[in-house]
Each structure stands twice: as C-alpha cells, then as structure tokens.
Amino acid sequence: MSSPVTTSPVTTSPATTCPVTIRIQQDDFDIAREIAALTRSRTDIGAVVSFSGICRGDEDSAKIAALTLEHYPGMAEEEIRRHADEAVSRWPLNGVTVIHRVGRFMPGQNIVLVLTASQHRQAAFQAAEFLMDYLKTNAPFWKKEESATGTGWVEAHARDDEAAARWTRS
C-alpha cells in the first residue's frame, strides 16, 4: 500500500499565469492526466513538453533487478522548487509540473516526470531539459541498484555535472 510521501502543490504568482506543481510520491503518475491538469481551461498554452525518466533494466551491460530511490524530505521539494522558479524566470512558461517518485522500482516503471508548458515549443523544450539536468545533479535523491552481483549505490556521473553546467549563466 503506497501513498504520497509529501504533496506540495504550490502556485507561483501570478496564480493564473504559471502554476508550478511539485510532488514527491511513492505512487505512479499518469502522464495524460498530468498534462490535462496543466492545460485545463487554458487557451494560452501552445506547447507542452513531457519528459519521463524510467527505470532501466541494465546499466553498463549489467542486468538491474530493481532500483530504490531515497530522498531528503523537505530539501528535495525545496531544491526542485528553486530550480522550477529559476526556469520560470528564464523562460516564458505557462506551467511546470515535476513529480519524482521514491521507493523501490522494477525495470520499466516510471521514476520522474517533468512537464513544461509554454506558448511556443522552444521555451518548453529548453526549460524541461534545464530542469532535468539540475534535478540529476542538485536534487537530493539517491539510487541504489539491485543486480545479480549484489546491491550498491549508483555513482554520480561526470556527464551529468557537465550537462547541468551548460545552463550556468556567466
């Protein structure tokens, strides 16, 4: 029996322009339902970009049996919100949804969802990529892998740091 660990739908001001929803939960998410929630009663949105992160069945040619996601309650929500707020300040967005699951996952199961809505696609694409790059390197979540050879914490990749660094403004 799983239930949301924390639910913190908060709306940035002005309320009707760019609602930001951030949730950390054990339960799965329904992408279509989340997109519908973001665009309902809106005619100013011309583009929604959706990114879903899914539990892979192998890592560097080793089979993965399951993945366990741990997080830092409180800070995880705040860190995602800081980056969502930055995305809203950098691109003309009309809505942002970030859902990150925690718990134990099998290959093929959803882990993370990022939705960005805008009038035009460029802002939505860029903001979604920015959010994912920062989520990987700065949001306090950790993955533990179970495989045939045992259980171990996933190591951070330099390529993720490099991906996040390209968004740094000089």
Partner 1 sequence: MKVKYFAWVRERVGKAEETIEPPATVRTVEELIAWLSGQSEAYAYAFEKPKVIRAAIDHAHVRPDAAIAGAREIAFFPPMTGG
Burial of 98 (0-12, 13-18, 19+ CB in 10 A): buried
Residue 142 within binding range of partner 1, rule CB under 8 A: yes
Q: Does 165 bind partner 1 (CB under 8 A)?
A: no
Of 27, 39, 144, 147, the one binding partner 1 (CB under 8 A) is 144
Q: How far apart are alpha carbons 100 and 109 in whole angstroms?
A: 12
Smallest Cα–Cα separation from 29: which of 56, 57, 53?
Answer: 53
Q: How far apart are CA 145 and CA 67, in angstroms?
A: 5
Site for partner 1, residues 52 to 81, rule: CB under 8 A: 53, 69-72, 74-76, 78-79
Minimum CB distance to partner 1, residue 10 (Å): 15
x/- map, 80-119, partner 1, by CB under 8 A: --------------------x----------xx-------
**Cβ burial, residue 134 (10 Å; 0-12/13-18/19+):** buried
Using CB under 8 A, list all residues that contact partner 1: 53, 69-72, 74-76, 78-79, 100, 111-112, 132, 135-144, 153-156
